[in-house]
Amino acid sequence: MKILIGKEANEFLEKLNLNVAYYETARNLEEATKKLSRFSFPMVLKLISKDALHKTEIGGVKVVKTKEGFEEAFENLREAAKIGKIKFEEVLLQEFVEGLELIVGLKKDTTFGHVVMLGLGGIYVEALHDVSFRVCPINEKDASEMINDLKAKEVILSKRKKFDVERLKKVLVKLSKIPQKMKDIAELDINPLMLSEEGTKAVDVRIIFD
């Protein structure tokens, strides 16, 4: 089994021309400080480690509102790592992305083979249990149906917000074609994928191979 997170997972998506939130990585405060000028505020710092796949739970996600708050947030991550006995190896610096939080991904089902998944993300995931699946690969019409399956379709297709639904469909189609070339992909999770008027951006990515 192999697992990709952080930079490696982002690079995997970038190679497929799937948009990810702008990011840099750093191993220590000095490196991070040097790269800080490439970001505006707010920005986000994340502790990336295979020992901590749920970053929020261990205090591994910090929104940095101002330049002045940066060092303290970085130290907080180091502290969180120490408390959680997590190896401090990679910090992800990431742009703050506005949008509707969605979950998209792939799973290998024992009956159906690879399936592609779409759901509403963020705080609604567990509360609403609103997800839609299709067997891979899918076309854009299937992707439309997946959106229409959701209780949240009214939100995604909202006339007021004008989310880039065409782009979302393209992301689903593209993801659904990955297993054709990579049969050993067991799981791909983008949670959240931020959907806005401008398109989509993957904010948190995890990929597992058999």
Q: Say if residue 7 is exposed, middle or buried (CB neighbours under 10 Å; 0-12, 13-18, 19+).
A: middle
Note whether 190 and 104 are within 8 A (CB).
Answer: yes
Of the pair 94, 144, the CB lying nearest Mg ion is at: 94
Of the pair 74, 136, the CB lying nearest ligand ADP is at: 74
Residues 2-31: x where in contact with ligand ADP by CB under 6 A, - otherwise, as a string: -------------------x----------
* 20 Cβ contact list (under 8 Å, min separation 6): 10, 13, 14, 201, 202, 203, 205
User: Could you say whether residue 107 binds ligand ADP (CB under 6 A)?
Assistant: no
Note whether 47 and 6 are within 8 A (CB).
Answer: no
Which of residues 46, 62, 108, 114 is near ligand ADP by CB under 6 A?
A: 46
Of the pair 95, 204, the CB lying nearest Mg ion is at: 204
Residues 149-188: x where in contact with ligand ADP by CB under 6 A, - otherwise, as a string: ----------------------------------------
CA distances in angstroms from 176 to 13, 14, 70, 78, 148, listed in the order given: 13, 16, 38, 37, 18
Which of residues 32, 77, 80, 101 is near ligand ADP by CB under 6 A?
A: 101
- What is the closest distance, in whole angstroms, from the C-beta atom of residue 92 to Mg ion in the complex? 12
What, of Mg ion, ligand ADP, none, does residue 114 touch, CB below 5 to 8 Å by kind? Answer: none
User: Could you say whether residue 97 binds ligand ADP (CB under 6 A)?
Assistant: yes
Angle at 102 between CA 99 and CA 104, to 5 degrees: 135
Which of residues 4, 18, 61, 147 is near ligand ADP by CB under 6 A?
A: 61
* Footprint of ligand ADP (CB under 6 A): 21, 44, 46, 54-56, 61, 94, 96-97, 101, 122, 191-192, 203-204
